[in-house]
Amino acid sequence: MIDFSPMRDGDLTYLEYAARENIGPAELKQLSDESITFLLSQLDGLKDGDIVFDPEDPDADDPFAVEGEEEIGWNFGHLIAHVTASSEEGAALSSLLARGVPASERPRYETPWRHIKTVAQVRQRLEESRRMRNAYLETWPDAPLLDVCRDVSERFTARFGEMNAPAAFLFGLSHEVGHYEQIEEVKRQALAARAATA
């Protein structure tokens, strides 16, 4: 997986990185598949009860959550629902932009996290997300329109730079990768709690 820190730190925009590395659909598919493979590997050793284990997270602060859930720790299923939604949004945007549509809306749908209760359901969500992301990449034309960027606020552009098709895909994937440590910590807590009651 690539190091997204230069983009997150503002040293390089996602568009600049994609152009510098000549990133197209094949490279994006490889990066996305690598991320899915990593997330699937996090299921090793987990049981169904671990997916819904409520972790402690003193940094929890989600102002967009439903009332009463702004400061709850996110369980494993919640995290998988969240990160796959972001990567799928980036993939959907990349499809629109590559075909010349300067998207202004957010084509985002997040699977209700409370519906993900088992290891099998996490695995299904991840494989479904892989299929969806790859399908969006298949919609890119042979000559994608890389000069078409998202129609977003000046504030967003000032922070993240212009977003063309590969940049939009990378942006969603960067968000997913940014949650890796949190996912690993939730797994650690779940396994520790199960071991303590064994």
Q: How confident is the model at residue 42 (pLDDT cuts 50, 70, 90)?
A: very high
Q: Which amino acid is at 59?
A: D
* Structure tokens that stand for 21 in this block: 């590395």
Query: pTM, whole model, 2 decimals?
Result: 0.94
3-state secondary structure 157-192: HHHHCCCCHHHHHHHHHHHHHHCHHHHHHHHHHHHH
Q: What are the pLDDT digits (tens) for 78-116?
A: 999 999 999 999 999 999 999 999 988 899 999 999 999
CATH 1.10.730.10 fits domain 5-196 = no
Q: How confident is the model at residue 72 (pLDDT cuts 50, 70, 90)?
A: confident
* Top-confidence residue, 174 or 198: 174
